A and B are shown apart, each in its own frame.
Chain A
Amino acid sequence: MAAPHERLTQLTIPFRAIAQRFAFIALVGGSFALMLLGKADTVLTERVRQFVADAVAPILAVLSEPVAAVNHGVQTIDGLVNLHTENARLRVENERLRQWQVAARRIEQENAAYRSLLNAKGGESRTSFITARVVADTSGPFIRTMILSAGTRDGVTKGMPVAIADGVVGQIVEAGERASRVLLVTDLNSRLPVLIENTRARAILSGDNSDWPRLQFFANADELQRGDRIVTSGQGGVFPPGLLVGVVASVGDRVARVQLFADLNRLEYVRVLRHEAPELEESRDGLRAPGKRMP
């Protein structure tokens, strides 16, 4: 009874091996095809990614809760241990900030006076923000991204800048209904128009998957020094101008590295900025203005 069954099994073994080899080749081919598809049809892959991110974000939010609780506990203990020194540091900082506040008020008044003298319009850009929790740190050797717990239903749309109080974090590249993905400024595909604060020289901050993004395409390389502050230029209208980015960490031949102000390893909550560029309104007014004046 068993003998014919065994013989049959033995007969099918080579066929099964061939089938498996064929399946292997087909699936490897499928992987390459998917890579090509991802390169060619970005809209479709983006939609599938959004769907998956939307589906896993609630699970990740729950899973990350205990880790966040432990981190909070550690921070609390750390805070208690360093209470005295922290207090002393804050006193000194508060003193310094009060002086800055006085200076800022004076400059604000001065600015307002100059603005009215020049009859300047729309100098201030309007920026509001949506606070979102980081539910997944999907950064790896190939890509630097994060998943946030806010999506289109919270007002997050593709292209919005993401920052924390310390500095710029990245930009929304995919926005699902309840989750969105941030492309960090350290990612290989990130390009951010920036300014060197002192010299007002324009440059591009481009990520290369390392912790220190590169500063590229800047004029007057001799003027660039270690410790120079880098802020967003607002060029392109995506990021508001003057947002803190980082400081120049090293200056080499034609390439400088930037140490970011935002610690991208410890992000818990971020701000998704809703920024309305003033330049666009001005140009619209400018276009309409002659028509209005003409009788």
Chain B
Amino acid sequence: MSEHFEAAFARASRGVVPASTIVVLLLLSVIPLGLPHISHVGPALSLAAVYYWTTCRPDLLPLATVFGLGVLQDLILGTPLGLSALVLLLASGFVVSQRRAILGKGFVVSWLGFVLVALGAAVIGWLAASLYFLTIVGFTPIILEAAITAALYPLFAWCLGQVHRRLVG
């Protein structure tokens, strides 16, 4: 009985690891670093984490959780409510549909996949924000953010890989 309970507890705690890492990254990403220019186009950590977990363990990051995390991100960042939720959902949906093309093909393919997702997310985010604010939002900072996130993806993937191996197995 207790073994059964332990197994259930282990499964449940594994289940919250991906969402927890995204919440932690989200909080870390808003800490004022005091570095010029970085804060305004800092990497989109949540997108990188959603990509990582959806490629490796989509069962641990269901769409409803992605939606919830997106809404939380919008509430913390102050971005239009639903904007990050939309971007993260579309990214997650895309990755789920293309998972077979990415998984098991080596890290470079996975990285390239993320470059594509980051670009797509930038374009969708820009379109949605421009529609929301009824004006053309500057595209340069958005594409810069995507480029920084894409360039730093190996680092995030390594960190998330450590968490993945130690806590999820």
Report A's interface with B, CB cutoff 8 A.
20, 23-24, 27-28, 30-35, 37-39, 45, 48-49, 52-53, 56, 59-60, 63-64, 67-68, 71, 134-147, 181, 188-189, 208-211, 263, 265-268
Q: Other CB < 8 Å A-B pairs besides A32-B82, A38-B80, A211-B37, 10 of them? A: A31-B70, A31-B83, A34-B71, A67-B32, A67-B33, A137-B31, A137-B32, A145-B77, A210-B141, A268-B34
Give the distance in Å from the alpha carbon of A53 to the alpha carbon of B77 in the complex. Answer: 9
- Size of the B side of the interface (Cβ < 8 Å), in residues, is 49
Among A39, A140, A145, A263, contact of B132 (Cβ-Cβ < 8 Å): A39
Give the residues in chain A near B79, CB-CB below 8 Å: 140, 142-143
**Taking A67-B33, A140-B40 as contacts, is the C-beta distance between A35 and B132 under 8 angstroms?**
yes
Residues from chain B with Cβ under 8 Å of A147 in the complex:
30
Q: A265–B40 contact, CB under 8 A?
A: yes
Interface set, chain B 45-100, CB cutoff 8 A to A: 63-64, 66-67, 70-72, 74-83, 85-86, 89-90, 93
Nearest-neighbour CB distance to chain B for A71, whole angstroms, equals 5
Please tell me if B135 contacts chain A, counting CB pairs below 8 Å. yes
Q: Is the CB of B145 within 8 A of A137?
A: no
Decide: A140 near B34, CB < 8 A? Known: A31-B67, A181-B78, A209-B138. no
Asked if A60 and B67 make an inter-chain contact with CB atoms under 8 angstroms apart, the answer reads no
What is the interface of chain B mostly: helix, strand, loop, or mixed?
A: helix
Main secondary structure of the interface of A (DSSP, over half): helix
On whether the beta carbons of A34 and B33 are closer than 8 Å, the reply is no
Contact A267 B78 (CB under 8 A): no
Whether B129 sits at the interface, judged by CB under 8 Å, is yes
- Chain A residues contacting B31 (CB-CB under 8 Å) are 60, 63-64, 67, 136-137
Shortest distance in angstroms between A133's beta carbon and chain B's nearest beta carbon?
A: 9
Candidates B35, B77, B90, B133; contact of A140 at CB < 8 Å: B77
* A268 vs B31: C-alpha distance when bound (angstroms): 11
Encode B25-44 as 1/0 by CB contact (under 8 A) with A: 00110111111111111100
Contact B77 A56 (CB under 8 A): no
Are B145 and A141 interface neighbours, CB within 8 A? yes
* Alpha-carbon separation in the docked complex, A141 to B137 (Å): 9
